[in-house]
Each structure stands twice: as C-alpha cells, then as structure tokens.
C-alpha cells in the first residue's frame, strides 16, 4: 500500500542530501509538491499517481539543486562561520561556540592532569588514556546539542568511568603487549560509544548509524585540515619568537599542542555537525577520487608481488602496516557507501567500490595466511591473536559486502539492505574492541 507521508519524506531527504538546498528551500518545495498532490487528487487521480506526477512537474531534483547552487554558492560558503539570520538560530549558534571553547579548555586541562602525577606525555600510559581527555567532552557536547536526556548522559558517563577505572586499575608488565593493544583499541571502542550520543534515541536504526559513519569520515577530513593548520601555527610561533631569542618550544610542546589539539577535536565536531550540508558536498568527492587510486595501488602491489615472487608479510612490521591499510580501505568503502543516496541508481563508483572490496579480500587472505603461519611458527602472543581476530572480522565484513553488492547489481536486493547489514556489523567491531581492551589483559596476565 502506498504511504504518501513516507514517500514525501524520502523525497525531501533526497533534496537535503544534495547539499545545495537550504532547509527553507526544501520546505518550500515540499509545500509546492503537496499543493500539486491536492490538486491532482481533486481531479480524480489516486494519491500514488498524484505523487508521481507532482514530482515530475517540479522537475529534476538534481537540476533544481544544480541551478540553486549556481546562484547560492557564495552565500553557502560564506555562512560557514557566520551567524545565521534567524535570531533564535543565531543565539543557539553562539551558545554552541561558547560551549565548544569551554569544553576545549576543560579537555586540555584534563590532558594536563596526568603530568602532575609524573606521567610523561609520550608514554604508553598517557597515550592509553588519551581518549578520556577528549571524548567525554565531545560526548557531552553532542548530547547537549541533540537534546539527550539526563539518563542517557549519566549512562554514557558511567561507561566512560567504568572503562577508565578498569584500564587504569589493570597492572602492566613487560613487554607491555596488552597495554599497547589497549592504547590502540580503546579509542575506537570509545568513539563507537560516542556515536550513541551523536545518534541519540535512534542509535539502533541503520540510517542513524550510517549517518554516524558519514560523520566519522567527515570528522577525519575536517580534523586533518584543522590539525595541519595547528601545526603550521605552532611552527610559525616558534619561528617568530626565535627571531627575538625566546625559546617557545617548551610552551608549544607542553601547552600549545595539548590545548590546541583538544580545541581541534571540539571544533571538528562542531563544524561537521553544524555545517554538514557544506561538508556533504565536498567529502563524497574525495571518496570518489581516492577509491579508484587505492584500487590501482593495491592491484599494482598484488601484480608486483606475484611477478617478483616475494611477499612482505613475513616481516612483522610490514604485516602491521598492511593491516592498517586494510582498515583504511574498509573505511574508504564504508564512507563511499554512506555518501551514496539510496534513491540513486547504480553507477561506475558502485562498481569501483565492489572492485576495491574484492582486491582488499585478496590482500586480507594473504595477510591472514601470514598471521596463521606466524602463530604456528612462533606461538601465540596478544599481538598475533589480536591481529588474527581483526583480519577475520575484516575478511567477513568484506566478503559479505562483496556478496551483497553482487546481489544488488543483479537486482535481487535494494541498496538499503547493504546499509542495514553494514550498520549492524558495527556491533561486532565494538564487541571485539571490548574483548581486546578488557579481556586480553586478563588472559595474558597483563603482559
């Protein structure tokens, strides 16, 4: 049975996803569509027929967005850091900026507390707790901005407090394998927990989870640009003060970098969240540029490996590097999926994405065989077991994605089913991260 409200909402969501129409423009077009539907149903058409005819009368959504962007591009980018015209929105925007500044200062202060107890900034213990200096404040900002309930805030605070207590009460002995694994996996686990604050009450819904994946990708892009700017500012600061014989390096290392890094994290979340309509125009372009480049690079690597008859996977350092590359490739694949509108038809980038998945599966299989060989040859260690588990999870993820894509190309499933499965699989990653962080130290006697 045709559901008018669901279809109108989907059409409006598609308009928003173009990234070039403001909310007022979307609402105006929705009003025109509803007027068309009322007129057409009054003339004898069914609701479904009226909806289809009304959409066609309004013209191509892509064309509407394109024409709108031609005359509004300047205003769109100028609004990146300017107050909105609406007084209420202006007040909310200013409150959020003040909140970002305050939380940045609190995060930087929290990051300085361990040094008062003799913990060195570059140590594993400091790095292990890095997430706790920033992510709780990011979570608080998101819950305040999204109207989270006090219960949800206290629940998330309890998860952070429990994690902080456990990882710091656990002892650590040489060669510190489990502590290093905790330092690597804990930020990922806590970022997924932070995602609950971003998604709010819809955290179980596939659409909300895919929005969070998109938010994650855009945060990486914005954060990288802001961090690059911070590094340039730091070097400039040291250089100009050095010209008058003042050494700013201690200040930059102990205060500028810490407070500036926390500010970058908070600003990244604020900008991506507040101005996501702008970022959504830019970020998918990067995904479409780098996906084929990653595909070409990995294909060239496989061909060179076969032709030369050598494999880098016998070396532990190279194996770790390729695992990181696989994670990066999977992130690229997921971001491409999250950037695709469910209403769009299959295009060349879908085929490039599935090709990238297929090549990544081959690389993962080779890496997995190398890990199994090292386990049988040198015995079980926390690092090898963690790498084994992650490669198995990655291979399963890539394998099911590949199968789903084939079924999508053959018309057996809708693209929504790919999105639904992938967002549910996030639970598996969260569970594995929790096992590595909380269970591995117990199993391997904190070594």
| Helix boundaries (H) for 243-347 | 249-251, 257-274, 276-308, 316-339
> Which option is the CATH number for 277-413: 1.10.1060, 1.20.1440, 1.10.287, 1.25.40?
1.20.1440
pLDDT grade, residue 91 (50/70/90)? confident
Helix (H, G, I), strand (E, B) or coil at 60: coil
Mean pLDDT of the residues in the chain:
82
Q: Is the pLDDT of residue 319 over 60?
A: yes
Rg (CA), the chain: 25
pLDDT grade, residue 72 (50/70/90)? very low
More confident residue, 190 or 200: 190
Between 88-102, 194-208, 308-322, the lowest mean confidence (pLDDT) is in: 308-322
Residues in the chain: 447
Give the model's pLDDT for residue 285: 66
Helix (H, G, I), strand (E, B) or coil at 131: helix
**In this structure, are residues 331 and 355 in contact, taking their beta carbons and an 8 Å threshold?**
no
What's the rounded mean pLDDT across residues 272-276?
A: 69
Share of the chain above pLDDT 90, in %: 28
pLDDT grade, residue 348 (50/70/90)? confident
More confident residue, 137 or 115: 137
Give the model's pLDDT for residue 312: 65
Helix (H, G, I), strand (E, B) or coil at 275: coil
Measured CA to CA, the distance from residue 207 to residue 336 in angstroms comes to 15
Q: Which of 73-87, 220-234, 418-432 ranks highest by mean pLDDT?
A: 418-432
- What residues does each domain of the chain span? 4-78, 277-413
What's the rounded mean pLDDT across residues 213-236?
A: 87
Give the model's pLDDT for residue 18: 58
Measured CA to CA, the distance from residue 319 to residue 367 in angstroms comes to 7
**In this structure, are residues 170 and 183 in contact, taking their beta carbons and an 8 Å threshold?**
no
Give the model's pLDDT for residue 146: 79
Between 21-35, 365-379, 410-424, the lowest mean confidence (pLDDT) is in: 21-35
Q: And the tokens for 80?
A: 């990146």
Q: Is the pLDDT of residue 106 over 90?
A: yes
pLDDT grade, residue 77 (50/70/90)? very low
What's the rounded mean pLDDT across residues 329-349?
A: 77
Give the model's pLDDT for residue 73: 42
pTM of the model: 0.77
| Helix boundaries (H) for 379-414 | 382-409
Block residue for tokens 């997924």: 192
Give the rounded distance of the alpha carbon of 294 from its chain centre. 18
Name the helix (H) or strand (E) containing 364: helix 348-378
**In this structure, are residues 398 and 330 in contact, taking their beta carbons and an 8 Å threshold?**
yes
What's the rounded mean pLDDT across residues 372-387?
A: 85
Helix (H, G, I), strand (E, B) or coil at 244: coil
Q: Which residues contact 101 (CB under 8 A, 6 or more apart)?
A: 263
Q: Is the pLDDT of residue 95 over 70?
A: yes
Q: And the tokens for 322?
A: 């390729």
What's the rounded mean pLDDT across residues 228-239?
A: 88
More confident residue, 75 or 178: 178
Measured CA to CA, the distance from residue 14 to residue 326 in angstroms comes to 31
CB hemisphere CA count around 298 (13 angstroms): 24
CB hemisphere CA count around 190 (13 angstroms): 29
């Amino acid at each position: 049975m045709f559901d008018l409200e669901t279809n109108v909402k989907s059409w409006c969501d598609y308009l928003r996803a173009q990234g070039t129409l403001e909310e007022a423009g979307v609402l105006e077009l929705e009003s025109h569509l509803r007027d068309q539907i009322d007129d057409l149903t009054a003339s004898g058409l069914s609701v479904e027929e009226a909806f289809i005819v009304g959409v066609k009368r309004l013209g191509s959504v892509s064309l509407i967005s394109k024409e709108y962007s031609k005359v509004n591009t300047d205003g769109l980018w100028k609004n990146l850091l300017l107050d909105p015209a609406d007084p209420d929105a202006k007040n909310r925007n200013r409150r959020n900026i003040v909140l970002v500044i305050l939380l940045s200062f609190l995060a930087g202060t929290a990051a300085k507390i361990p040094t008062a107890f003799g913990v060195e900034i570059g140590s594993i213990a400091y790095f292990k707790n890095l997430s706790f200096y920033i992510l709780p404040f990011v979570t608080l900002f998101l819950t305040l901005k999204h109207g989270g309930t006090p219960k949800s805030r206290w629940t998330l605070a309890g998860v952070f407090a429990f994690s902080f207590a456990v990882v710091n009460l656990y002892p650590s002995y040489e060669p510190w394998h489990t502590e290093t694994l905790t330092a690597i996996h804990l930020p990922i686990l806590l970022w997924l927990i932070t995602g609950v604050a971003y998604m709010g009450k819809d955290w179980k819904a596939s659409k909300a989870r895919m929005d969070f994946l998109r938010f994650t990708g855009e945060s990486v892009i914005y954060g990288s640009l802001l961090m690059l700017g911070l590094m340039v500012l730091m070097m400039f600061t040291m250089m100009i003060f050095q010209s008058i014989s003042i050494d700013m390096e201690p200040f930059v290392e102990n205060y500028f970098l810490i407070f500036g890094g926390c500010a970058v994290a908070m600003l990244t979340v604020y900008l991506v969240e507040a101005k996501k309509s702008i970022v959504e125009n830019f970020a998918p372009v990067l995904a479409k540029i780098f996906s084929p480049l990653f595909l070409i690079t990995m294909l060239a690597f496989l061909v060179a490996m076969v032709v030369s008859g050598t494999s880098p996977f016998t070396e532990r350092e190279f194996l770790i590097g390729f695992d990181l590359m696989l994670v990066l490739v999977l992130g690229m694949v997921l971001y491409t999926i999250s950037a695709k509108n469910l209403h769009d038809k299959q295009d060349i980038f879908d085929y490039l994405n599935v090709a990238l998945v297929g090549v990544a599966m081959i690389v993962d299989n080779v890496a997995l065989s190398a890990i199994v060989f090292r386990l049988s040859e040198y015995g079980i260690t926390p690092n090898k077991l963690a790498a084994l588990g992650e490669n198995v999870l990655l291979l399963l993820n890539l394998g099911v994605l590949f199968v789903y894509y084939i079924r999508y190309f053959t018309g057996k499933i809708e693209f929504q089913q790919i999105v639904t499965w992938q967002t549910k699989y996030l639970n598996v990653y969260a569970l594995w991260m929790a096992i590595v962080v909380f269970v591995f130290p117990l199993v391997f006697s904190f070594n």
